[in-house]
Amino acid sequence: MLRSHRPARGVTLFELLTTLAILSLTAGLTSAAVHAFAGMTSLRAAAHEIASVFSQARSRALFRNAYSGVKWIARDGDLTLQIHDDGDGDGVRNDDIDNGVDPLVFGPITVKRRWPKVTVAFIPGFLARDPKGNPVGDLSDPIRFGRSDIASFSPVGDCSPGSVWLGDGKSRQALVRLTPGSATIGIYEWVGSRRTWTRIW
């Protein structure tokens, strides 16, 4: 039995343009999604890195049975962290750091150098309350450890209270918080589209 052969049909210009339009739209959506995911990943990585520095200082204080502290320097939307051990029994102090009494044992690490898309700042127009429902207050102050520039950890498991606020410059905010008494280190994430806080560590 002979089969009839139909001549091969080409693609019309309309079909080709429609296909190209769909591919372009898909690529654009994919690119935006990848960009958003990369920003979220960088923000989370930066928050986890800062939390791990605090965690390391807490562990050193417990293991050595002596104070350990994380000294921070904030400048131009950036944050540098370094760990010092108490060398003379009076806690980690700036004068002892300057005189070499409280030695540098880790760092320094710089947030912006590791994660260029992350800033130590609040995102534009941030109006939400903190994870406990308290007002955030002054948006020009993203690092809050009272008057000190050292987050201190004691050998009995206590720490200075404080918070570090990180942003992606658009719609995502992260918060690394130290809670005294238990020396708990928490990471919270705010997503503007959901308007909710999620604890991620």
**Inter-CA distances, 5 with 1, 2, 9, Å:** 13, 9, 12
Residue 16 has pLDDT above 70, yes or no: no
pLDDT of res. 191: 82
pLDDT of res. 40: 55
- Which residue from 150, 152, 177, 147 is spatially nearest to 163, judged by alpha carbons? 177
User: What one-character-per-residue DSSP string does 77-131 give?
Assistant: TEEEEEEEE-SSSS---HHHHHTTSS-EEEEEEEHHHH-TT-BSSPPTT-----T
Give the CATH fold of the 15-199 domain.
minor pseudopilin epsh fold (3.55.40)
Residue 25 is which amino acid? L
Residue 2 has pLDDT above 70, yes or no: no
Confidence tier at 76 by pLDDT (50, 70, 90): confident
Across residues 124-146, what is the average pLDDT? 90
Q: Where are the alpha helices (DSSP H) in the chain?
A: 13-64, 94-98, 111-114
pLDDT greater at residue 99 or residue 20? 99
Across residues 159-166, what is the average pLDDT? 93
Rounded to 5 degrees, φ, ψ at 186 are -120, 150
What whole-number distance in Å separates Cα of residue 145 and Cα of residue 170?
25
Decide if 122 contacts 128 (C-beta within 8 A). Answer: no
Beta bridge partners of residue 179, listed in sequence order: 184
Name which of 26-35, 84-93, 180-189 the model is least confident about.
26-35
pLDDT of res. 9: 64
- Which residue from 51, 43, 103, 37 is spatially nearest to 81, judged by alpha carbons? 51
Rounded to 5 degrees, φ, ψ at 109 are -115, 145
Confidence tier at 158 by pLDDT (50, 70, 90): very high
pLDDT greater at residue 36 or residue 175? 175
pLDDT of res. 44: 92
Across residues 35-58, what is the average pLDDT? 80
Name which of 95-99, 159-163, 193-197 the model is least confident about.
193-197
Name which of 35-44, 120-129, 181-190 the model is least confident about.
35-44
User: Can you give the residue ranges of every domain in the chain?
Assistant: 15-199
Residue 190 is which amino acid? W
Across residues 160-168, what is the average pLDDT? 92
Across residues 91-113, what is the average pLDDT? 93
Across residues 85-93, what is the average pLDDT? 95
